[in-house]
Amino acid sequence: MLIAQISDTHVGGEAVAALYRMDTRSAVRAAIDQINALPMRPDLCLITGDLVENGTAEEYRMARAEYERLAMPWYVIPGNHDARAPLREVFGDAQPFGDGAHGEFLHYAVERFPLRIIALDSLVEGRTHGLQCEARTAWLRETLRAAPTAPTLLMIHHPPFPTRQPVVDGVCLAHAGDFAALVSEHRRIEAIISGHVHRAIHSHVAHAQASSCPSTAHQMLLAFRREDPMAFTHEPPGFQLHWWNGPGTWTTHTVQVGRFDGPFAFH
């Protein structure tokens, strides 16, 4: 399977473009154009949160118009800039959110591919950090136990691993150690993908490979020192391609979005 991942599209109108000094809607459109034009088309695209900037229905309609240009199935999860009610309102007929019988959270499992996809909702509305609370953890545990032999990918907005950037780690997934303990109980979890930090970062959670995806728009300043500010840059936007050919075969490529000179032959 070839899985495309885009993240942190922050779609919005003119005020958002002024804030980030770029048109975020045009930026995600460029990324989608590049994904659709790949010589080998991905089997699906996963969109890991912060779909829009302000969590309004108007912004979600703008974002959906862009996502529907993807030439493959696509699935979304909320990030800290999102809001569940308008997200469900605008995307509910296109996403397997369910009827809310198991609570407000927009989590679900996708069973139609050789790799099982579990989409996690780590949103704490009004806050920047993420959380897998008792109710969400219980749902995840139950969902994993329902198919204990199925190779599985988890998608979550907030990275459940330390980035080693002090200004960022304080707003990632709270109680990540508890999350890792649950992951360690399920050896068929192949990998965990996330967004939020607007950079390509690779790590592990228990036995599983874990990564974060760059944004299709602005990137976060690389900030290893405590005195470094939380700031954004216009480093090249990007997306990721994840290859999975069976248990233990996870490979990730980070692709920059844009037009670049080449290719040039080596001879």
Contact at 8 Å (CB) between 38 and 243? no
Distance in angstroms (rounded) separating the CA atoms of residues 186 and 181: 9
Contact at 8 Å (CB) between 92 and 64? no
What is the mean pLDDT of the segment spanning 21-47? 97
The residue range of the domain holding 110 is 2-256
Whether residue 262 lies inside any domain: the answer is: no
Q: Which residue, among 227, 202, 223, 231, has the nearest Cα to 214 in the 3D structure?
A: 202
What is the mean pLDDT of the segment spanning 128-153? 96
Whether residue 261 lies inside any domain: the answer is: no
Res 102: pLDDT: 59
Res 223: pLDDT: 94
DSSP H helical ranges for 49-193: 57-67, 84-91, 134-146, 166-169, 176-184
Contact at 8 Å (CB) between 91 and 60? yes
Distance in angstroms (rounded) separating the CA atoms of residues 248 and 113: 17
The CATH number assigned to the domain holding 170 equals 3.60.21.10
Whether residue 264 lies inside any domain: the answer is: no
Whether residue 144 lies inside any domain: the answer is: yes
Tell me which amino acid residue 196 is: H
Whether residue 8 lies inside any domain: the answer is: yes
What band does 101 get if pLDDT is binned at 50, 70 and 90? low
What band does 100 get if pLDDT is binned at 50, 70 and 90? low
Model confidence pLDDT, tens digit, residues 237-246:
999 999 999 9
pLDDT above 90 covers a percentage of the chain that reads 97
With tokens 């890991």, the residue in question is 48
Model confidence pLDDT, tens digit, residues 46-79:
999 999 999 999 999 999 999 999 999 999 999 9
Whether residue 267 lies inside any domain: the answer is: no
Whether residue 266 lies inside any domain: the answer is: no
User: Residue 99: pLDDT above 80?
Assistant: no
Model confidence pLDDT, tens digit, residues 194-217:
999 999 999 999 999 999 999 999
Domain count, the chain: 1
Contact at 8 Å (CB) between 127 and 79? no
Q: Which residue, among 238, 234, 233, has the nearest Cα to 257 in the 3D structure?
A: 238
The mean pLDDT value of the chain amounts to 96
Torsion of CA 207, 213, 219, 223, to 10 degrees: 0
What is the mean pLDDT of the segment spanning 240-254? 96
Distance in angstroms (rounded) separating the CA atoms of residues 80 and 203: 22
Distance in angstroms (rounded) separating the CA atoms of residues 183 and 208: 8
Res 261: pLDDT: 95
Six-digit token pair at 136? 């969400």
